[in-house]
Amino acid sequence: MKILIINGPNLNLLGKREPEIYGTQTFEDYFKILKTRFPDITLEYYQSNVEGFLIDKLHEVGFSYDGIVMNAGAYTHTSIAIADAIAGIQTPVIEVHISNVHARESFRHHGFMSKNCVGSIAGLGLKGYDLGIQYFIP
């Protein structure tokens, strides 16, 4: 089984970025833990701050991988293009947000991609990625 985690803009700064909201762990460190938690899955990780690169990656893996766990960061709230890319691929996508976007500023309450994802996880910290992966395990 092949699963890709995709992180969007500013998530490369996890561990340093607004730690009171996003915690103190880097994603690279957390990804190592995920790899040991799911040894039977081919688990990959991609991060970009560029909207088009995120779309290219969705196209690249979206007809062959079994699942995508995606935190599109602020593009969640702005990008019809990413929402369209998710609608256009075959691989199911789980949307993840580290923070509870519904308890934050009103501009974070709407996400364009949510309706094209199989489900959304928000507010459970980095554990949301773990739970997203578990969805794909039969």
Residues in the chain: 138
Residues contributing to the site for ligand DQA (CB under 6 A) = 10, 71, 73-74, 76, 97-99, 101, 108
**Active site (annotated) includes residue 22:** yes
CB of 39 to ligand DQA, least distance (A): 26
Q: Cα angle vertex 40, ends 36, 46, to 5°?
A: 65
Contact 117, 94 (CB under 8 A): yes
Catalytic residue among 22, 30, 75, 129: 22
* Crossing angle between the packed helical segments 51-61 and 80-88, to the nearest 10 degrees: 0
CB of 45 to ligand DQA, least distance (A): 15
Nearest residue (CB) to ligand DQA, 52 versus 123: 123
Nearest residue (CB) to ligand DQA, 62 versus 73: 73
Nearest residue (CB) to ligand DQA, 17 versus 59: 17
Catalytic residue among 30, 46, 75, 97: 97
Rounded to an integer, what distance in angstroms lies between the CA atom of residue 23 and that of residue 64?
Answer: 33
**Cβ atoms within 10 Å of 43's Cβ, excluding its own:** 20
Nearest residue (CB) to ligand DQA, 79 versus 91: 79
CB of 31 to ligand DQA, least distance (A): 15
Q: Which amino acid is at 78?
A: T
Rounded to an integer, what distance in angstroms lies between the CA atom of residue 57 and that of residue 124?
Answer: 25
CB of 64 to ligand DQA, least distance (A): 26
Active site residues: 22, 97
